[in-house]
Structure 1
Amino acid sequence: MVIGGAACLSASAMFVKLADISAGAAAFLRCAVALVALVPLLAHEVWRKGWLARPLQGYAVIAGVFLGADYVMWTMSILDVGAAVATVLINVQVIAFPLLARVFGGTAISRRFVFTIPVMLAGIALASGAFERGSESGNPVRGAVLGVAAGVAYAVYLYLNRASGERSPRHVVTPICISTGAAAATAGLISLFTTGLSLSISPVSWGWVVALALLGQVAAWLLISTGTPRLAPNTSAALLLLQPVMAIGFGLVILRETPSASQLVGCVIVIAAVWFSHRTPRPAGRNHS
């Protein structure tokens, strides 16, 4: 389920570029269209399992606000640095999420993770292409900043979503639906004052928006929210790292994006560093044949 969710998320960047609409419109419509599918599922879940506890509804609303901000910033980053690189940049959440768990939940952080943080940041800097001249991207520095900021907002969403799932594991659709509604409102409001919110788009673009909403929002989060409680946190984090790998593949094969050699090296460094930081060493003293 988590691998399938990561695949759906990795395709999101590709759908955004193929839709060829403004960042604000893509972020808003991604959530607004998703509600068409989520609301009936919400009604079914409430009928079978009752309402989500009120405090957890508040968690979902706050999570949605951060998710809406994440979507706007991430979509702008896609337009600046490309789908593949933007998907790698947002994985700064793998640094931010454990820090949030440490500060607010008291979860210990391993020394391996702390020592790997500088390597992750160096890889992110390379992947952004901010140090290159003549980049194909429109604004690599802005794209890098927005991509990292989106990753932090994404980490807040993941933290609150996981907290809700731990306290009420029988509710899967409800927190996602509430968060998606809050994200739509947040993305729409931010877009009105930044990128604009033009909804006059072509039928072809609407087709890609629907794909973005159904796969990148509904299917992705239903799969991830269902699968992650059944796995150890380190395992979930490692599986979600397949997202940038798949995004690079989509970008190269379908969008014909051509990241530079240094950007690809940065992507590899980020993925390898995050994998290493979450790797559980084998117990000493055991023989393996």
Structure 2
Amino acid sequence: MRRIDPRLLLIAGAAFISVSAIFVRLSGVSSGTAALFRCALALPLLLPLAARERRRAGPRRRQGVDVAAGLLLGVDLVLWGASIGEVGAGIATVLVNVQVVVVPLLALAAFGERPSRAFAMAVPVMLGGVALAGGLADSGTHAVHGADPVRGVLYGTGAGLAYGGYLFLTRLAGDGQTHRARPVLLATLGAGAASVVVGAPWQGVDLTPGWAALGWLAALAVTGQVCGWMLIGAALPRLRAEVGGTLLLLQPVLAVIFGAVVLAEYPALLQIAGCLLVVAALWLTTRSAAGPPAAEPGAAAPEPGASSRNHRAAESVRGHEAATGPARR
């Protein structure tokens, strides 16, 4: 993976994640049940991968950050699963991507990593596209596929805030090189715990959902929890915050397409226009990243004499955590 463009890894991860809502919908279980089983069924795959990784690369540092990220992911999964029943699978996945603003803002607050001018110009386009794709500008009943669109929007937005926190912590703690399985394993354990704490008292957790539901949840665990998050975790530390967050906007666009193909949740014309706006904003933000992605932070780094805090942020983005030495700890 070290030789693969991290943008390609992130796009592949987004493609795996984009089918998650469909599997949740097809399973017919509550959001708490889906969140718990997607984590539990992923463990048999992640445990041997993490054990092999530990033997090869040594113990993982910043494990507490991985677990904290997982707790936020668990909250995201429960809220996101609840929004699926209110606004439909495709639109719910669109709404959760308010992370495109959350992640760069957290990077700015924590490390002083300023978003590019292209990103600042593209944010209104992104948010407008998300609003249109979510059916918020269409008063017709054909625009959404759920019981309560307003409540679904609130759930989806809350999920997006938690999701943004998860992505930020993943980018902060990961090196994207030597450790890929263990961060996902620890985050999965944290997400499973959070799904029980949040989902059980709210919507309940069914420990015997049936064989058909288990089949869909197993597919969810493999695609959305293992493949998707390992690819995303390998890519994020090697990209600037705004580039990573923007590329992940392919996820809701693909989700709307898959929702139409698999679940017959056909989008309205304004929703299609919103998806096109998202793609246009993605192009606007990432077109300047045509060179090797690992060099992007260097191009955007401040001039000599900048603070060590900004230098640390640049090092985190490059993903060379293992080579930074004690000063970075």
The answer to whether 1:86 aligns with 2:95 is no
Q: TM (normalized to structure 1)?
A: 0.88
More relative contact order in 1 or in 2 (CA 8 Å, sep 6+)? 1
Q: Of 64, 75, 98, which residue of structure 1 is paired with 2:81? A: 75
Quote the offset at 1:229 in angstroms: 4.4
Matched-pair contact (CA < 8 Å) for 1:128–1:143: no
Shifted more, 134-143 versus 56-65: the winner is 134-143
Residue 270 of structure 1 is matched in structure 2 by 278
Residue 15 of structure 1 is matched in structure 2 by 23
The answer to whether 1:111 aligns with 2:117 is yes
Q: Of 137, 145, 150, which residue of structure 1 is paired with 2:159? A: 150
Matched-pair contact (CA < 8 Å) for 1:234–1:279: no
Matched-pair contact (CA < 8 Å) for 1:88–1:267: no
Shifted more, 37-46 versus 13-22: the winner is 37-46
SS in 2 for 1:51: coil
SS in 2 for 1:254: helix
Q: TM (normalized to structure 2)?
A: 0.78
| CA root-mean-square deviation | 2.2
Change (3 A) 1:243 1:179: same
Structure 1: distance between partners of 2:276 and 2:82: 23
| Alignment gaps of 5+ in structure 2 | 1-8, 291-329
Matched-pair contact (CA < 8 Å) for 2:243–2:285: no
Change (3 A) 1:239 1:90: same
Shifted more, 195-204 versus 22-31: the winner is 195-204
Amino acid at match of 2:65: Y
| Alignment gaps of 5+ in structure 1 | 283-289
Matched-pair contact (CA < 8 Å) for 2:104–2:242: no
Structure 1: distance between partners of 2:241 and 2:106: 14
Residue 52 of structure 2 is matched in structure 1 by 44
**Percent of aligned pairs sharing the same letter:** 44
Structure 1: distance between partners of 2:236 and 2:22: 25
Structure 2: distance between partners of 1:156 and 1:232: 15
Q: Of 255, 258, 261, which residue of structure 2 is paired with 1:247? A: 255
Shifted more, 213-222 versus 234-243: the winner is 234-243
Matched-pair contact (CA < 8 Å) for 2:249–2:278: no
Structure 1: distance between partners of 2:243 and 2:289: 13
Q: How many residues align?
A: 279
Change (3 A) 1:35 1:86: same
Structure 2: distance between partners of 1:7 and 1:239: 11
Structure 2: distance between partners of 1:52 and 1:99: 27
